[in-house]
Structure formats: C-alpha cells, structure tokens
Structure 1
Amino acid sequence: MKNDTLKKLGLTLFVIAVTVFFSLSFIVDISFKDKDVSSLLEEKNKGLANIVSTIDPAPAYQMPGALRNAFNQYNEVIVNEYGIKDDELKNFIEKLDSDASKFDTSAVQSFFGKDDFLTTKFLENTSWMIGRDWQNFDQFKNSINDKLQNVNKAVVSEYGLGAEKQDAMVLILMTVGAPDFLKTGLWAFLIFGLAVAGGFIHFIPLWRKKPGIHNDHIHHNKSQTRQWPAIIVFVCLVGFYIFLYHYPHYLANQIALLKPLSENMSGGAANQWFLYGFMYTLAMFTMGARMMIKYRGNMYQQVRTVSVFFFQVAFAFTLPQILTRMQLPAYDLKSAWPLEYSFFFDYRIDEYMQNGSLGLFLFGWGVVLFAIGVPLLTYFYGKRWYCSWVCGCGGLAETVGDPYRHLSDKSLGSWKIERWVVHSVLVFAVFMTAWVLYTAISGDSELLGINSYSVRSTYGFFIGFVFAGAVGTGFYPVMGNRVWCRFGCPLAAYLGLVQRFKSRFRITTNGGQCISCGNCSTYCEMGIDVRWYAQRGQNIVRSSCVGCGVCSAVCPRGVLKLENKTEDGRINDNPILIGREGVTLNL
C-alpha cells in the first residue's frame, strides 16, 4: 500500500478507537444492584443501598446528578433520625423563656440528655454565644438558628454520607454500576488494541525510509505547527486532564474496562489513576516504537528509549500496584523529591512509619535518592541520567511529544522566563515542604500565620494539576514537548543547578565544521539555540539541557558530541575571537 494510504488508515483506526473510548460516557448506561451497592458501604450506611438501587439506568454523564440526589435523600433521613429538627430547636429556645442568659452548657446537656455526640456538636457551634450580651432575644434566636445547619452537617458526617465522602463514593458506585460486558477485558483489548494497531500502521511509512533524520517539511505540517489538527489534539488533551483530576466519575465506564487487569495487579478495583497509568504506559509504548524507528540509525537513542519505557513499566506502573497488593505505601522508587512533592507530607510519613522495616526502607530510599543519589549521579552524568533515561515525564515527552519538539521557543525572552519560573517552583516546593515538616513535627498547622494545609493544597492544584498535567502534557501541540520540564519541574531545576555548576557533563562543539544548517536548534526540545553555540565552538553547559542527544543525532557534520570528562575546560566562554586579524581560537 502507498504511504499516504497507510497513514490515513492508521489515523482512521486510531480516531475510531478514541471515539469509542470517549463515547462510553454517553451511550452506555450505568445501573445499580442492591447487593453490589451494599458490599461497598459501611454497616451504618447500608440503608443507602435501597435508595441507590432504585435509580433508573442512565449514561455516565447523567448519573452523578442522580446519585447526589439519592445522597441528599438519604441524608435527610439521617438528620430526621439523629439530628436536630426545626421543631426540636424551637422547643429548646422556648424553654429559655426569652432569656438568653439561661443558655449555658447545663441547659444544652439537659435538653439533649444522653446524646453526647449531639450535645458536643451543638456546643462546638454555639459555645461562643454563652455569656454574651445580646441587644434582644430575637438576635440571639437568629444566631442559634443559623448554627442548626452546621450541627446537622456534623450529624450527616458521623451517621450518613457527608460532602467530603460523596465525590469518592460517586466514582466507586458508578464504576461498580458499569455494565458487566465492559469488565471482561475484551472491550479493553479491542479499544486499546485498535489504537495501538492504528499507530503501528501509521508508522510503516517511517520504517520504509532510510535510516537518518528527515525534516520532511515539519514546519509545514498542519498537525505539528499549531494549526487546526494540532489545536484539536491540544483541546482533547487538556480536557482529558480536567476530567481526570476533577470529574473522574464521568470516566467510570472507561475505568471499568481495566477491572480484570487492576484486580490481577493490585488486588483491588481500578480507579482513575490506574486508568491514567495504563494509558500513559501504553502511549509511551506505541510512540516509543515510533521513536525507535525514526532514530534507528542511532544506538544512543535506541537504548535511551528502551530505558525510559522500562522504568515506566517496572517502576512507575507495576511496582506501585505490587506495593498496594502488599498493603504498603504505593511508591515509585525512581521518583525523587521535590518532583514527588507529597513525599514529606505528614500522612505519607505516617504510612511509612506504620509499615515496619519495608516502610522505613521506602522512606530512607527516598531521602537518600534526593540528598545523595541525585547530586552524585548528576555530577558524573548530568541531568540526562534522570531526565532522558529514567523519568516518566521525560519519557512521555520524548515519545508522545517527539512530533512537537521543534515547537519549543528558542528565543532569549523565553529562556529568561523559563529560568525565573522553574526556579520559583523549586523555591515554592522547598517552602511548602518546610511548612509541612513543621506540622508533622510540632502538630501545629500554622507557622508565621500561614496554614500548611492551604500551602499544600495550593501547590497540588497549581503545580500538580495545572502545570504538571493540563499544561505539561496538554500543551505539547502548541508549546513543544518539554513544557513541564522547562518551566515547571522542581526536580529539573534542582538537577539543572548541579549540572550547571558542578558536573562533568557537557556537549562539546567543533565550530570549524558547523555549516549553520540549524537542525540542532530545530530539534532541541529544551528551547536551546544549539546552533548559536556550535557556530562559536562553545561547549553547551546550560542547566536546562537534558542530554537527549538528538541535536548530535541530527547534525550532518558531527559537530556535537555528548561527553562526561573532567570539569577542567568545561566552560569555555568566547572560544572563538573574530577581529581584524581574522578568526583565532581562545585556547
């Protein structure tokens, strides 16, 4: 078959797979059985199963609203049984005989009798009213009525299904309520298999080419140059991350596809993060095959691609599932602080401490990795040991993001923004970790008037979701494949500081051989104008360089070479001098 036909066929199969995948949220109904729902609920909430099981079958996009109505209906029953009803509060106020001074702890205890929980919660919300001067009794009555809702919310949290549990319960119930035919594994094989097959067929024309880098008018390709096909991909990726992080219940049918795999690996049901990890790994596998075909004439690129895929499969995807099955903290051993920004959160430390010797080992490994392993390995090998050989974020950028690598802005202005932003994120991560450790050690959540929980929540939203997810990956088609690595990754900033000032790694250049073709700058994913250095014969020691080696692979003259040597002569500013006497070398 002709190359154009193969590309169209492969793209068609991929689009069909993606369409079927997302259509599951709209065309496949979710329904509930009383026994299935009962098995998920705590003993005190078994009554909720009767209400949920009466919900009519509906697609995933409609079911969250129906479930929340069921939760509200159930919580009303709980309030009527355990809470304070309007009539009861009215009777209590009437007993005060229009005298606010009669309101005290003994009056509350006398009214609620043996219900210690209700007494405690009522006083927690109204104790500030005891002994207070009131202008009139109506003001007092209005204030105590206003607190009724807070007391009943506490009742719902204790006996019913509070707001803090509802989002998680919606997803769990919808995943269980997904139709059985989606949970056999067959549909997962068909959908994901079709997507992978489409990708491989699309890559056949690339295999037919001779080894070597072929530009093939990449700046004129609509799907790779911020035109409408790329914009569609951009919107789909960003939209997927928004739903994954904030509305995962709409993906309940998609999550159900991986039920057999999740149960075999972790011993439990799949969730949105298992789905994401599987798709992440599958995308790296498919586009990694493309990477190896494209760079099949360069052994460094071949080995590097195999390496990042191995670490993704073994450490990022499989190992956490095994640890979960062993009822241990799910930890990716290659993920170091501050990229693993929650590593020092109090609940994480408690998990490690409560899991004996293996828990202590995991915690110790994480500390040694960032404190000793990262600077030591970076000294000998530069950032490339992690960013290009180990990191899952870098692996996704190198494989899935490779078609967009030329979109990285090479301007001086972009470099200035990059340095300020990425190092600001590092400072933010250090600041947040210090606050969190203070809380873990002292038990006090505030330091200098700043709440550590607010700091970690802010960091998690803006860095964990917005920067690392929606922007870091979603912006591949419009800003290049290393947006997160360049502008947002705190570990990249940490590695970069070591690489710039204390490392043996550099990219050496032979300025006399450079023909200024610009291939190196075009293909640099980190926004480095490599040609500028090559023309001057100046070593490249930029802190942002991840040592991917693509600039060296695409150079037709062998000008660029990745080296790990002694630090002497590593930084050679202004090596070529141009004056009236001609060109001389500053040796």
Structure 2
Amino acid sequence: MQDVSISSLALAPAPPAASPPGEKPALAAVALGLLTLLAAAADADVARARLSLYCALALLSGGALGWAWLAFGKREAGWHPHDLWRRPSTSRGAVAWATGVALTGFYVVVYWFPWLLTNLIRALDPFSQWARHRAADQWFLYGTFYTMAVLVMGGRALWKYRFSRYHLARTASVMFFQLGFGFLLPGLLLALQRPEFYFTYFWPLKYDYLFPGTVSQLLHNGGLGVFMVFWGAAMSFLATPVLTYFFGKRWYCAWVCGCGGLAETAGDAYRHLSDKSRQAWRWEVRLVYPILGLITLLTVLLWLGASGAVPALGVVTGPLGQFYGFAIGSVFSGIVGVGFYPLLGSRVWCRFGCPMAAYLGLLQKHFSRFRISTNGGQCISCGNCSNACEMGIDVKQYAQRGEPIVRAACVGCGLCATACPRGVLNLENGPREGRLTGSAFIHADSLRIL
C-alpha cells in the first residue's frame, strides 16, 4: 500500500523547534565558550588562563555572530516576531531563569567578591598595560566584557534591522560611543596620567561628577580637569535641555548612553517582556522620580556642607551617599538592571531607577518637540507595537484612538513604528503647537453602508 501524506488542517503553524538545526553549531560554540571561560577563571596558571580567556571570547563572539547571521541574515529582511514568546530563552522559561541567575551572580561577584575573578583579571594584564599603562582590576575586566557584549550583540542588531537606516545608524552610534568614549578614551586618560573620565555620562546619572570632592580633584589637574568640570556642568544643565527640546530623550537614551546601548543590543531579545500594566507604570512613577529627587538632594547637601555654611551636614551626607551608591548605583543599576533582562525586560533600570532617564523624561514630556504621531484609522490592533516597546508603554491603546504618544518613559527607539505593518506610527520632531492633538478619525456613525 502506498503511503499518502496528509497536510495539516490546523489554522496555526506548529510551534517551532527551540533552535533550528542550522543554528545548533553556532549555539554549541557559545556554550563551549562559556565552559572555556569558566575554565580560565579556575586556572591559576596565568599563561594558560590567558589563552583560555582569549579562546573563550573568540568562541562566544564567533558563535553569537554566526547565530545572528543564520537567524536573521539568511532570511528576508523585514520585521519578524521570531517566535519570542515560544522560546524558553525569551519567554521566562528555564533557559531565561538560568541566564538571569548567571548574570546576577556575575554582578554580585564583580561588586563584592572580585577575588573570585583573580585569574581572569591577571589574564587581562597585558591588554590593560597596553590600553591604560596599569594592571587590570575587576572594573577593567567588567568594562571589557561589557564593551564586547555591546559590539557583538550590536552585530546581531545590524543583521536583524538591516532593512532600516534609522536602526542601523542608532545601533552603530551606541557601538561607537561605548567603544570609543566608554572604554578606549577613559583608558587613554589613565595612560596619560590623567583622571579617568567618561564624557558620555553626566549628572545625575554619573552623580559624583558634580560632587564638591570630584570637582575639586578635577580642578587640580590643570586645563583638562577644568574642561572636564565645564563639560559635565554644560552637558547636564545646558546641552541636555536643548537637545531634548529638539529631539526628545532619544538623542541620549537610544543613541549615546552605555546603559541604553547594552539594552538595545544585548537586551534586544527581551524587549517584549516589559510589563505594560498600569500597576507597573505606577511603580515606575513611585521609584524613578524619588530617586532623581534623592540624588538632587544629596548633591545640594554636599555643596552646602562643602561651603562651610552647615558643618553638621557631614553626618547626613556620608550615610546618604553610601546608601545611594549601594542601593541605586550597585544593586539597582547592575544586579537588577542587567541581571533581570531575561525576566523583566531590557530597560528595568531605565524605567524604574535611572535618574538621568527621569530628568530627560520630564523635559521630553513638558518641553520637547518630540512625539510619536498615530493614525488611528489605519490601526488593525495587531499589538506588534506594544510587544516591541521595551519601556512598558501600551502603544496599541494610543494607536487605536489616534492619539499622539507623549510619554516621559519613551526613549524613541522607534521599534514600535518599525513593527507596525500599516505605517500607523511616526517619530516626529515637529512644532509644539498641536503636539497633543490626535489624528483625524472617521467614526463609525459617519459611515454609510450602501
């Protein structure tokens, strides 16, 4: 008897495999790279640990880029959901939990148990001597891993969004600023016996840059130190409001910031996990603005104490500064902000904790020209826009009503507009007049059915 194949009558396609067969060698290279990295961390022989570390980085980079090419480069360019909600690595499955635990554990070790990374740190000594003219430490190790993550996963983003000039430029921008201004330039300053300074971080994100002690230290380093103080103050209080007025907070959060750069590259696969509920928005408001107020208060108190007007302030500012550095600077921005990518989305820190995002958000909402316009008459309520939003904004609700999106949280990444199959959304820097006016909408009562 001859076998007759019967096609499925199911309306929906079968769930995809966890990883297509063609991608398995690339994923195996990533897994082997992680094992080699663990071997390097456990090897007390410096030469052997260095060789293992470089092999691990090569395997991780090559495997990740190879997987990105297989997953995105070989298929037709365009927006694809890529079954993110059906993969255990991107739908809070076992793989996601394991990844979250590993990331969280790494941050805990870097902050409080760096001696566990001694072998890896010593393995990077030659590179650190070349880049900074000094021995490596846990922060150089962390910066190296961080920069490689942005560059490698930035390559993935370039493959994935190669059909969009906006996203290609945005991805290239965060890769450039992280490599040049977040990694190489601070090392060069140290090599020249100058203070380590990050020109892409300003107050209130890099909160200590305008503290009296930091300002005094920089001013004692000659003309370059004076320029650093001027740069930090001008960018915080002059350039930031001006640029945000014209372009919204996207000029910084989606194009320059290192935290946003990691979220847009390494965290891109988790953007759909951001909580869109109203309760999450309430917690966002309850946390991010008090944190901005806290660092503003701390800065003012420190300057009052430094002026000598209120000598007793030292009793308050010391513990307050230590609390902020531990709870916000370490736990929130690092452990929760990055470690929880696979569980809560890629912008947890940006949404709930970043004082710079809060500052920019207030400027964007009340004083900026930026908005995302919508055309409610064309919305088909597919939900792609909300699914793509990493900041927890339910974009679909605005699009259905034809209302412009003027939200403090929006970082202007543009993925909602990219994901829309109907061209309903458009990022605009138009005049402030009519900024909150919705698009013309044809009501059902105005239609006649002949």
Q: Tell me the TM-score normalized by structure 1.
A: 0.71
Match of 1:279 in 2: 145
Match of 2:131 in 1: 265
Secondary structure of 1:279's counterpart equals helix
Match of 2:432 among 567, 571, 575: 567
Given that 2:205 and 2:354 are in contact with CA atoms closer than 8 Å, whether structure 1 keeps it comes out as yes
- CA distance in 1 between partners of 2:246 and 2:299 (Å): 28
Q: Does 1:366 align with 2:271?
A: no
Paired residue type of 2:195? P
Match of 1:314 among 180, 186, 196: 180
Against the structure 1 CA distance between its residues 443 and 187, is the aligned structure 2 distance closer, same or farther, given a 3 Å change threshold? farther
- CA distance in 1 between partners of 2:291 and 2:440 (Å): 34
Against the structure 1 CA distance between its residues 443 and 330, is the aligned structure 2 distance closer, same or farther, given a 3 Å change threshold? farther
Q: Does 1:411 align with 2:277?
A: yes
Given that 1:6 and 1:205 are in contact with CA atoms closer than 8 Å, whether structure 2 keeps it comes out as no
Given that 1:524 and 1:530 are in contact with CA atoms closer than 8 Å, whether structure 2 keeps it comes out as yes
Match of 2:319 among 428, 433, 454: 454
Task: Please give the residue correspondences for 1:387-406 in structure 2 after superposition, counting only pairs within 5 Å.
Answer: 387-406=253-272
Match of 2:291 in 1: 425
Mind listing any 5+ residue stretches in structure 2 that lack a counterpart? 1-16
- CA distance in 1 between partners of 2:65 and 2:217 (Å): 42
Q: Does 1:189 align with 2:54?
A: yes
Q: Does 1:509 align with 2:381?
A: no
Deviations 1:218-271 (A, max 9, x none): 211111011100000000000000000011111011112221111111100111
Match of 2:384 among 519, 533, 549: 519
Given that 2:77 and 2:163 are in contact with CA atoms closer than 8 Å, whether structure 1 keeps it comes out as yes
Deviations 1:455-491 (A, max 9, x none): 1100000101111000000010000010001000000
Task: Please give the residue correspondences for 1:282-301 in structure 2 after superposition, counting only pairs within 5 Å.
Answer: 282-301=148-167
Secondary structure of 1:568's counterpart equals coil
Match of 2:46 among 158, 162, 179: 179
Given that 2:373 and 2:403 are in contact with CA atoms closer than 8 Å, whether structure 1 keeps it comes out as yes
Secondary structure of 2:106's counterpart equals helix
Large movers: runs of 4+ above 6 Å: none
- Please state how far the C-alpha of 1:571 moved relative to its aligned partner: 1.1
Against the structure 1 CA distance between its residues 445 and 472, is the aligned structure 2 distance closer, same or farther, given a 3 Å change threshold? farther
- CA distance in 1 between partners of 2:82 and 2:222 (Å): 57
Q: Does 1:199 align with 2:215?
A: no
Against the structure 1 CA distance between its residues 573 and 299, is the aligned structure 2 distance closer, same or farther, given a 3 Å change threshold? closer
- Please state how far the C-alpha of 1:201 moved relative to its aligned partner: 1.9
- CA distance in 1 between partners of 2:438 and 2:366 (Å): 14
- CA distance in 2 between partners of 1:306 and 1:407 (Å): 24
- CA distance in 2 between partners of 1:559 and 1:327 (Å): 53
- CA distance in 2 between partners of 1:253 and 1:462 (Å): 28
Match of 2:302 in 1: 436
- Please state how far the C-alpha of 1:445 moved relative to its aligned partner: 6.2
Identity of aligned residues (%): 44
Match of 1:242 in 2: 108
**How many aligned residue pairs are there?**
429
Given that 1:344 and 1:436 are in contact with CA atoms closer than 8 Å, whether structure 2 keeps it comes out as no
Match of 1:233 in 2: 99
Match of 1:10 in 2: 26
Say which one has the larger Rg.
1
- CA distance in 2 between partners of 1:227 and 1:212 (Å): 27
Match of 2:36 in 1: 20
Secondary structure of 2:428's counterpart equals strand
- Please state how far the C-alpha of 1:433 moved relative to its aligned partner: 1.2
Paired residue type of 2:34? V
- CA distance in 2 between partners of 1:577 and 1:338 (Å): 45
Mind listing any 5+ residue stretches in structure 1 that lack a counterpart? 30-177
Q: Does 1:351 align with 2:367?
A: no
- CA distance in 2 between partners of 1:445 and 1:543 (Å): 38
- Larger relative contact order (C-alpha < 8 A, sep ≥ 6)? 2
Given that 2:376 and 2:439 are in contact with CA atoms closer than 8 Å, whether structure 1 keeps it comes out as no
Given that 2:37 and 2:52 are in contact with CA atoms closer than 8 Å, whether structure 1 keeps it comes out as no
- CA distance in 2 between partners of 1:402 and 1:227 (Å): 17
- CA distance in 2 between partners of 1:453 and 1:299 (Å): 48
Secondary structure of 1:343's counterpart equals helix
- CA distance in 2 between partners of 1:582 and 1:489 (Å): 46
- Please state how far the C-alpha of 1:450 moved relative to its aligned partner: 4.6
Against the structure 1 CA distance between its residues 332 and 460, is the aligned structure 2 distance closer, same or farther, given a 3 Å change threshold? same
Given that 2:36 and 2:55 are in contact with CA atoms closer than 8 Å, whether structure 1 keeps it comes out as no
Paired residue type of 1:190? C
Secondary structure of 1:436's counterpart equals helix
What CA RMSD, in Å, does the superposition of the two structures yield over aligned residues?
1.9
- CA distance in 2 between partners of 1:347 and 1:255 (Å): 29
Match of 1:549 in 2: 414
Paired residue type of 1:426? L
- CA distance in 2 between partners of 1:312 and 1:520 (Å): 28
- CA distance in 1 between partners of 2:40 and 2:392 (Å): 39
